[in-house]
Amino acid sequence: MSFQLIEGSAEQTIPLFFINKKQLDESLQESGLSAIWMTANNFKAGDGEICTIPDKSGGIDSVAIGLGDREVPGIWTMAGLSHSLPQGVYTLKEKQTSEVATEIALGWAIGSYCFTRYKQSDRVLASLVWPDKVDKQLVSSLASGVHLTRDLINTPSNDMGPEELATAASQLAGEFEAECNVIVGDDLLQANYPAIYEVGKASDRAPRLIDFRWGDSGPKITLVGKGVCFDTGGLDLKSAAGMLMMKKDMGGAAHVLGIAAAIMESNLACQLRVLIPAVENAVSGNAFRPSDVIKTRKGLTVEIGNTDAEGRLVLCDALAEAVRTKPDLIIDFATLTGAARVALGTDLPAMFCNDDKIADSLRKHSVECDDEVWRMPLHKPYRKLLDSKIADLNNISGGPYGGAITAALYLEEFVGNETSWAHFDVMAYNTSSRPGRPEGGEAMGLRAVYSMIKEMVN
């Protein structure tokens, strides 16, 4: 993918320069001509704001990019520019440090994303000449991962069922000589994945477990992603409004495939395994019911309090398998609860972790990458809310409070405390557009996790 970043070109390039609020004020006092033009055009040098400066013949001389109160641009400062600048080839006027240049290029690359599967746009995007000193490998790996995650989420369920999700995983495996095995339909019962089977059995599109492995040295890292390709709620059917966005309920799977793509493209020395339970939570005569008691891979029995709490059911079998091979770290991503969004809003993923060092490291990387996650507690006293009178546990807590925590505690039952584990409850979707982050599928916490894994393997 080109990401609208090109090698130094012979074509005429238009210089881009940065100016923050303080510098704009100062150059106005010096009555710089371009500063006068900028203020006449109501340019306030806000972060990411642009002002095109004309040359004497009426062409574009250069483009000012506001930094707000910043000293240097951040990842999102230029992320919208490939879409908002006039078509052409642009270049940075001033030299940047390697770190800043890499942030700029990464924002540009992520921001060049368009979902074009069903509607071609005739708009030609602007391109940027790769700035000097950029870590191109890092930019390309992360941008590939984010684009893949967004594409998978944006593709509606009619074209992204359990089978198509498995095909996407095996295509990715093919690109990097990874191994990809898929257990489908009734074979899930023979292979002892009863909960995945139960949730997915009502759909004409058979449930499956995708098991992807790559790399043969370094730490053992297992990523698990919720792959509910559409969540109707099952017999506890969602409302129309609640169902509207549920093509994104495989967002966790999309995240772990995006992270895997970035890890493999940059050849990080780890033994990677990706497990994705891929199902459709559908309604039919043979659908699992509220009050059913089902078995799980770990042997625990679960009473179904609500068929709409299906994510934890498919994840618990995948997590039990993940733990079995004793990896150094398990990370799962899931669009698991509405309650996590009530607690933290749509943009901030909730992170739960049974290992304080890993949690602190994830938080630190998330701040450094401008990809924040927020830790929430695995508050043990709430575990009793999942007690069932007739089974080992219920899949929901009876009450309306602390739903993200009780969901995480449910998962913890299947992980135990011998393996380091982090769980991300994510929205995986931008509910409105911002520069570089269009409405639709979004990777949240992906760069933070990649950055921590990169540090782990170094």
The residues assigned a catalytic role are 238, 312
Q: C-beta of 243: minimal distance to ligand BES in Å?
A: 10
**Are 15 and 90 a contacting pair, CB within 8 Å?**
yes
103 vs 236, beta carbon nearer Zn ion: 236
Q: What does 403 bind: Zn ion, ligand BES, none (CB cut-off 5 to 8 Å by kind)?
A: ligand BES
Neighbours of 133 (CB within 10 A): 14
Q: Which residues contact 330 (CB under 8 A, 6 or more apart)?
A: 221, 222, 223, 224, 319, 322, 323, 415, 419, 420, 421, 422
Q: C-beta of 335: minimal distance to Zn ion in Å?
A: 6
C-alpha–C-alpha distance, residues 423 and 255, integer Å: 12
Q: What does 194 bind: ligand BES, Zn ion, none (CB cut-off 5 to 8 Å by kind)?
A: none
3 vs 230, beta carbon nearer Zn ion: 230
The stretch near Zn ion (CB under 5 A) out of 28-36, 108-116, 228-236, 340-348 is 228-236
Q: C-beta of 214: minimal distance to ligand BES in Å?
A: 28
Q: C-beta of 417: minimal distance to ligand BES in Å?
A: 24
Q: What does 68 bind: ligand BES, Zn ion, none (CB cut-off 5 to 8 Å by kind)?
A: none
Q: C-beta of 425: minimal distance to ligand BES in Å?
A: 8
Q: What does 409 bind: Zn ion, ligand BES, none (CB cut-off 5 to 8 Å by kind)?
A: none
Q: Which of 66, 227, 311, 327 binds Zn ion (CB under 5 A)?
A: 311
| Binders in 399-438 for Zn ion, by CB under 5 A | none
Q: Which residues contact 363 (CB under 8 A, 6 or more apart)?
A: 351, 373, 374, 375
Residue 280 interacts with Zn ion (CB under 5 A)?
A: no
> Where on the phi/psi map is residue 456: left (φ > 0), alpha (ψ -120 to 50), or beta?
alpha
| Binders in 239-268 for Zn ion, by CB under 5 A | 249
HSE (side-chain half, CA atoms, 13 Å) at 58:
0
Strand partners, 330: 222, 421
User: What are residue 96's phi and psi, to 5 degrees?
Assistant: -125, 160
Identify residue 259 by its one-letter amino acid code: I
Q: What does 396 bind: ligand BES, Zn ion, none (CB cut-off 5 to 8 Å by kind)?
A: ligand BES
Assign 251 to helix, strand or coil.
helix
Q: What does 339 bind: Zn ion, ligand BES, none (CB cut-off 5 to 8 Å by kind)?
A: ligand BES
Residue 308 interacts with Zn ion (CB under 5 A)?
A: yes
299 vs 400, beta carbon nearer ligand BES: 400
Contact residues toward ligand BES (CB under 6 A) are 231, 249, 306, 308-311, 335-339, 341, 396, 403, 427
C-alpha–C-alpha distance, residues 403 and 398, integer Å: 10
5 vs 282, beta carbon nearer ligand BES: 282
Q: What does 337 bind: ligand BES, Zn ion, none (CB cut-off 5 to 8 Å by kind)?
A: ligand BES
Q: C-beta of 233: minimal distance to ligand BES in Å?
A: 6
C-alpha–C-alpha distance, residues 244 and 399, integer Å: 25
Assign 195 to helix, strand or coil.
helix
**Are 145 and 258 a contacting pair, CB within 8 Å?**
yes
Q: What are the respective helix, strand and coil percentages of the chain, to the nearest 5?
A: 40, 20, 40
Q: What does 19 bind: Zn ion, ligand BES, none (CB cut-off 5 to 8 Å by kind)?
A: none
Q: C-beta of 157: minimal distance to ligand BES in Å?
A: 13
277 vs 403, beta carbon nearer ligand BES: 403
Residue 236 interacts with Zn ion (CB under 5 A)?
A: no
Q: C-beta of 403: minimal distance to ligand BES in Å?
A: 6
C-alpha–C-alpha distance, residues 223 and 334, integer Å: 11
119-125 long-range Cβ contacts below 8 angstroms, 24+ apart: 123/83, 124/87, 125/4, 125/82, 125/83, 125/87
C-alpha–C-alpha distance, residues 25 and 360, integer Å: 40
66 vs 311, beta carbon nearer ligand BES: 311
The stretch near Zn ion (CB under 5 A) out of 8-16, 105-113, 220-228, 345-353 is 220-228
Residues in touch with Zn ion (CB under 5 A): 228, 231, 249, 308, 310-311
